[in-house]
Each structure stands twice: as structure tokens, then as C-alpha cells.
């Protein structure tokens, strides 16, 4: 129960769902998507699997800087920060972690803030 209490008392934090659905940003083929949550892109817009997987070509996490994101969150007064990268099949039925394993430099240096 102590973990739940801490979370409740922290009150302000950020959860980020980060996946292939993040790049389109709620827009598909020039139109706003029918579902308000980007992670439902493939299902809500009935995107064929091959077309959806093609988003991987533009998904480049090389500029991702966890430390910068965490500092910005802390500067805003946030007490917790969680990035959810689909490890197993999720809304889009694509395991982003498995797909990213071959992207050079990604997932080889774990964030030093993990576990804090």
C-alpha cells in the first residue's frame, strides 16, 4: 500500500506512450484520426499491417534524450515520469522493442535514471 500512497501524494507526473503511432501525431493521410488516442491509430483508421509497419522507416530514436525529458519534467514540478514503449504486442500488435533492437545505439545504453 505504501507504493500507492506515494503515487497519490506525488500528485503530478507524466506518462508517455511512445511508439510508431507517435510520429503521425493524430493525423493520418492528412486527416485528424477518429480516435483521440494516438496508440489506437492502426485500429481506428483500419491501417493495413504492412502500411503501419512502414512507419518504422521514419521512427528514429537516435535523438531521444531521456535525461533532457526528465529534467524538463522535474523543472515543471513533476514527481514521476514514465515512458511506455511497447515491449509486447500492444494496441497496434507490433512489438516496438523487438523492432528497435536492430536500430544502432538504441536500447544499448539504459537510462541512468531507471529505478529512481
pLDDT in tens, 60-94: 777 778 889 889 999 999 998 888 776 545 555 55
The predicted pLDDT at position 33 comes to 94
Map residue 11 onto helix, strand or coil.
Answer: coil
For 67, the grid coordinates are 535525461
Domains in the chain: boundaries: 17-100
Instruction: Kindly tell me if the per-residue pLDDT of 16 is higher than 90.
Output: no
Mean pLDDT, all residues of the chain: 76
Which residue has better confidence, 92 or 30? Answer: 30
Which residue has better confidence, 110 or 82? Answer: 82
The predicted pLDDT at position 88 comes to 46
Amino acid at each position: 500500500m505504501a507504493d500507492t500512497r506515494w503515487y497519490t501524494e506525488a500528485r503530478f507526473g507524466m506518462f508517455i506512450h511512445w511508439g510508431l503511432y507517435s510520429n503521425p501525431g493524430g493525423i493520418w493521410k492528412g486527416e485528424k484520426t477518429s480516435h483521440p488516442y494516438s496508440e489506437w491509430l492502426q485500429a481506428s483508421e483500419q491501417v493495413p499491417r504492412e502500411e503501419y509497419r512502414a512507419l518504422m522507416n521514419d521512427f528514429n530514436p537516435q535523438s531521444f534524450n531521456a535525461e533532457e525529458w526528465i529534467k524538463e519534467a522535474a523543472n515543471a514540478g513533476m514527481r514521476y515520469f514514465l515512458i511506455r514503449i511497447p515491449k509486447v504486442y500492444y494496441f497496434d500488435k507490433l512489438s516496438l522493442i523487438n523492432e528497435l533492437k536492430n536500430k544502432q545505439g538504441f536500447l544499448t545504453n539504459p537510462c541512468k535514471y531507471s529505478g529512481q
